[in-house]
Amino acid sequence: MSSFNPYTQNGGTILAIAGADFSVVAGDTRQSEGYNIQTRYAPKVFRLTDRAVLAVNGFAADGNMFVKKVKQRLEWYRHAHAKDMPLRSIARLIQTMLYSRRFFPYYVYNILGGIEEDGSGAVYSFDPVGSYERETCRAAGPAQSLLQPFLDNQIYFKNQQPAPGMSHPTHLPLQAVLALVIDSFTSATERHIEVGDGLEMYIILGKGRGLQGLEGVKGVQELTISEDGERIFVVRRELKKD
Amino acid sequence: MDHFPTNWGRPRNDMFDAYGTYPIHQRPDNRPKDTFADSVQRTQQPIVTGTSVLAIKFKDGIMMAADNLASYGSLARFKDVQRLHPVGRYTVIGAGGDMSDFQHIQHILEEVQIAESTQQDGHELGPVEIHEYMSQVMYARRSKLDPLWNSLLIGGFKDGKRFLSYVDLLGTTYSASTLATGFGAYIAQPLLRKAVEGHEDDLTAEQAQNILEYCMRVLFYRDARSLDKYQIATITAEGVNISGSLKLQTSWDFAENIRGYGAQTQ
Amino acid sequence: MTSIGTGYDLSASTYSPDGRIFQVEYATKAVENSGTAIGLRVKDGIVLGVEKLIHSKLLVPGANRRIQTVDRHIGMATAGLLADGRNVANRARDESSQIRGLWREPPTVKELADRLALYAQAYTLYSSVRPFGISTIFGGVDKTGPSLFVVEPSGVCLGYHGAAVGKGRQLAKTELEKLKLSELSMREAVIEAARIIYIVHDDNKEKEFELEMSWAGDETGGLHVPVPADLLAEAEQKAREALETFE
């Protein structure tokens, strides 16, 4: 008798890129199982605070439960300390929460994006049992193998030789990052059956930074709650549904 | 070394100690074992099962359909089973998968509703709450590796809002304007999407029922675990209405022309 | 009570030499200080009525309900300590749920009242607990029809056509006896119940009171629910009129 398998894979892909003073976290909205599209709109990216966004990918039921529990812990933190938890602390919290289930893991790849206390844009990526590191960019999910080499090339300038006397920039401007994100997802949609339907991009801007890079972007919706701090926006785009 | 003198020099059968060669306290026990002797068994498999449930949004609310069959493997075991179950005044829950687990779900929902209603605070559970509750129950049970072996569709209408969502034995949830479980996810879902997506606010109850009836018919033709007796649940501002048993009109004339199906000899 | 001060009234686990358990009798006293609660078992259902004394004008109307719902089809009214009533109601809900789980059918009022009688009786056995300071009227409709039971602090449980507990129970019982309970309809019973509560209420001694009423039976589709506001208002109106001509 085959035993019950408590896991499944629900497709979709997530991606985050950090700038000098901003961070972008994106994910598609398709949820699937095998060849079935379960729904065309199931968010995978969640606002945690005004300066932290979490993207989850893998087993959707675990993902939703995990986000629920992280949000709960952040609320308790607010009640205890009357402020939002800093990004690096959220990252460590996520590690301990994931590792606490080391022997019955949340089958979820997490990417946390936002602004650090020093004002820099940051991305943290996790494996299902809590190993994590801070990075400039990361893609996860079934289309990771399509996106990560592209990002390595475009953001870390891997396999690119700078012009004589020049050097590669360490951070890209917001406009360029948004273009890369959109291109990444349209490409992944073309080549991976589990990616598509819709794209949600969360953009977190550092304190006092202007909106440069967001002008002219269609359908920007602000989600910021508190004033005089980091600002957070979401942009939605359609992706091919086939 | 066996220090029991009566055992010395005797033949020994380790499966059954016919000669009583063992001292009583270490005599082999080969009696038939109790069903649960190998510790508690949690993981199960569905036994008596229901097949697809279909549900769509339409202008005035939600419409759902499920046939009346509960199968025992490939045997059509129970042909008068209701798989659409009203929960309170605003919600219907439709189930595929194990029917005894579904009965258990009906029971816990009854308990929850009584617990809520005895508060007499004027609050009633709507489809949103029922779905959240069922998601937590299903996820908790899968996390105990003791799942309730069902795919559930939860549809409802409360406070002027339609609600339609799914949850299954893994605790996976999602919502969409058309949903189908089981074989229906393969056969009916594409048909439903074509007919409903983009028309959720225009479809009349009659059109919605026609779409569901069409899909139920296709399922009856194609799904070997389905039945031509089915029910339709409609949830609108007027409340919950679950139809009596409806019969699908089918035609099997074409079968005559299929080689190996009809009466042809060659 | 000549035996007071002899030491036999300090614990529910000790009899007095003449075979009494004083803690139980004191609990009964707590019930007698409370506003009256009545229950009527009639042709097609049951009606519960409570004279809820308002001990402060600052209280929100409808607060501190003394009629509670145990299961869809069963309600209870208490006379005595309000908090004990809450505890018993919660226990009753658990018992009801347990009976349902066992038999997969709604419990009968008798089954439930019997269980709560056992519960009340257990609180007369130990020195570490005190008996409940309430008498509870359980009323509802089940497969046997309408039924009404009273559970006393001692753990005694008896069925009635009409029941009254609390301060005005004597007068209420006299009034109930005059009625042909098995011929009344639920609606008529509501009117009578309201009238009795109004008669029983002692205007001179007591402060304000709120009339709290619920019913279960054919009129309510077998559910235990509060009596609708319009019917309650009508009943109160008639009760006040009847009061004029009483005695």
For chain C, the domains span: 22-246
Q: What are phi and psi of A239, to 5 degrees?
A: -120, 165
Helical packing angle, A87-99 and A60-81, nearest 10°? 130
Q: Which residue has the tokens 């007591």?
A: C206
pLDDT grade for C231, boundaries at 50, 70 and 90:
very high
From chain C, pick out residues whose CB is under 8 angstroms from the CB of B107: 101, 104
Which of B107, B110, B120 is opposite residue C69, by nearest beta carbon?
B120
**What pTM does this model have?**
0.89
The dihedral formed by the CA atoms of C95, C97, C99 and C101, expressed in degrees to the nearest 10: -140
Contact B118 C100 (CB under 8 A): no
Q: Hey, CA dihedral for B176, B181, B186, B189, is it positive or negative?
A: negative
Provide the 8-state DSSP code for B256.
G
Distance from CA of A213 to the nearest CA of B (A): 34
Active site residue B181: no
pLDDT grade for C203, boundaries at 50, 70 and 90:
confident
SS3 C71: strand
> Can you read off the two tokens belonging to residue B18?
């016919």
User: How many residues are given for chain A?
Assistant: 242
- Three-state secondary structure readout of A143-194: CHHHHHHHHHHHHCCCCCCCCCCCCCCCCCCHHHHHHHHHHHHHHHHHHCCC
Which residues have a Cβ under 8 Å from the Cβ of B147 and sit 6 or more positions away? A4, A6, B43, B44, B138, B141, B169, B170
Rounded average pLDDT over C105-114: 97
From chain C, pick out residues whose CB is under 8 angstroms from the CB of B103: none
Contact A7 B170 (CB under 8 A): yes
Among C74, C88, C93, most B C-beta atoms within 10 A, so best to mutate, is: C93
Between chain B and chain C, the number of residue pairs with CB atoms below 8 A apart is 24
Yes or no: say if B177 and B57 are a contact pair by the CB < 8 Å rule: yes
**How many Å apart are CA C230 and CA B42, to the nearest integer?**
54
Topology of the domain comprising A14-239:
Glutamine Phosphoribosylpyrophosphate, subunit 1, domain 1 (3.60.20)
- Three-state secondary structure readout of A54-107: EEEEECHHHHHHHHHHHHHHHHHHHHHHCCCCCHHHHHHHHHHHHHCCCCCCCC
Q: What is the ipTM of this complex?
A: 0.94
Interval A123-147: pLDDT, tens: 999 999 999 999 999 999 999 999 9
pLDDT surpassing 80 at residue B15 = no
Contact B176 A38 (CB under 8 A): yes
Interval A48-68: pLDDT, tens: 999 999 999 999 999 999 999
Number of domains in chain B: 1
Rounded average pLDDT over A28-47: 97
**How many Å apart are CA B124 and CA C177, to the nearest integer?**
40
Interval C70-102: pLDDT, tens: 999 999 999 999 999 999 999 999 999 999 999
The pLDDT score that the predictor gives to residue B254 is 78
Asked if B139 is an interface residue toward chain A (Cβ–Cβ < 8 A), one would say yes
Which of A36, A40, A61 is opposite residue B171, by nearest beta carbon?
A61
Domain C22-246 sits in CATH at 3.60.20.10
Interval B127-139: pLDDT, tens: 999 999 999 999 9
For chain A, the domains span: 14-239
SS3 A28: strand
Helical packing angle, B184-196 and B205-222, nearest 10°? 150
pLDDT surpassing 60 at residue B63 = yes
Interval A63-85: pLDDT, tens: 999 999 999 999 999 999 999 99
Which residues have a Cβ under 8 Å from the Cβ of A45 and sit 6 or more positions away? A14, A25, A26, A27, A53, A54, A55, A200, A202
Interval B168-224: pLDDT, tens: 999 999 999 999 999 999 999 999 999 999 999 999 999 999 999 999 999 999 999
Domain assignment present for residue B34? The answer is no
Domain assignment present for residue B191? The answer is yes
Q: What are phi and psi of A183, to 5 degrees?
A: -60, -40
